[in-house]
Amino acid sequence: MVESCSSSYRAKSIFSFFFSFLFFLAFLRSSSAILYFKGQSVSLSFEDVEARFTVAINGSGICGTLHVAEPFDSCSILQSAPNMGEHMDMRFVLIARGTCTFEEKVRNAQDGGFDAAIIYDNRDKRNLISMVGNSGGIHVHAVFISKAAGEALLKFSQSEDGRCCMSPSAEKIAWAVVVFSLLSVLVIAVVLVTCFIARNRHLRVRSTQHNNLKRKSQLVKALPTLTYGAPFDGKCASEMCAVCLEDYKAGETLRVLPCHHDFHAVCVDSWLTSWKAFCPVCKRDANIEAGCHQVCEHTPLLSCSSRPALPS
């Protein structure tokens, strides 16, 4: 049983480690997306990285009109997004990095009525980063792009009447599929290992119970027996079996317990192995564990007068 519990603990520890490792990888993985700008005479696409504290871009992506932030760094209250009237289109705002935190920029964009913030780097030749901040109260999207991408968007957004779109990258979708697949495999493996451990534990318990019953049966059969003889002369302890309440008949095999009470061998054997290891009459310990009695399958025919009497 100790070995089974130890194996179960080790299995749970291993799978807990794998689950934690996968979630850690998923957290560290940059959530990348693709940013598109489609104008009358130009179509551009840029790589970007989603902010970790804003609403993720899922499904087929989002599209809307692109506006330039006023003030450009979005470190103070923005000029409100233009009213689109009945045309319920999303409104994107282009913001320059610097001066204040990413969270401040995104919150100011959200308070200004924009649905998504595009923040571009203020320096060349730097890797894209995943913006961090407090997600409390944030319900808009936000992405980070390079300086070259930001300057191109700034140029064409002022000269083109175009639309901007954000969509998950194929790499992001593939990564999500890989993580989901690995998690599914691990869940199946955990279920299979749990079933295997439970089955082994059940078989071990059954085997232990069977061995205990077999050992009890051997010890019970080691208790002395006698063959009941007639006629009954009144000198015996009893004339019936206290287990089945049937009178003894000549030739029946009786089992004698250490307390000198006797019973049908079949009746008391079942009692001692299936119920309690004490005498059904006086409740004294039958002492079957001692196994000190010699096995006796056949004893000479005894009369009642020669049977052991109860102690006075």
Residue 298 has, within 13 A of its CA and on its CB side, a CA count of 1
Cα end-to-end span (Å), the chain? 47
- Is the bond leading into 71 cis (omega within 30 degrees of zero)? yes
Q: Helix (H) and strand (E) counts for the chain?
A: 5, 10
- Alpha-carbon gap, residue 91 to 80, rounded angstroms: 11
- Is the bond leading into 231 cis (omega within 30 degrees of zero)? yes
Is the distance from CB of 87 to CB of 63 less than 8 angstroms? no
Is the distance from CB of 141 to CB of 50 less than 8 angstroms? yes
Domains assigned to the chain: 31-81+88-168 (3.50.30.30), 222-312 (3.30.40.10)
| pLDDT band, very low/low/confident/very high, at 108 (cuts 50, 70, 90) | very high
Mean pLDDT confidence for 172-185: 69
What is the model's pLDDT at position 14?
54
Least confident window among 34-48, 64-78, 82-96, 129-143: 82-96
Q: 165 is written with which tokens? A: 């779109």
Q: In terms of pLDDT, which residue wins out, 211 or 163? A: 163
What is the model's pLDDT at position 110?
93
| pLDDT band, very low/low/confident/very high, at 176 (cuts 50, 70, 90) | low
pLDDT tens string 117-150: 999 998 887 888 889 999 999 999 999 999 999 9
Q: Distances from the Cα of 306 to the Cαs of 101, 224, 295, in angstroms? A: 105, 15, 20
pLDDT tens string 267-297: 988 888 877 778 888 888 876 554 444 434 3
What pTM was computed for the model?
Answer: 0.49
What is the model's pLDDT at position 102?
94
What is the model's pLDDT at position 27?
45
What is the model's pLDDT at position 6?
52
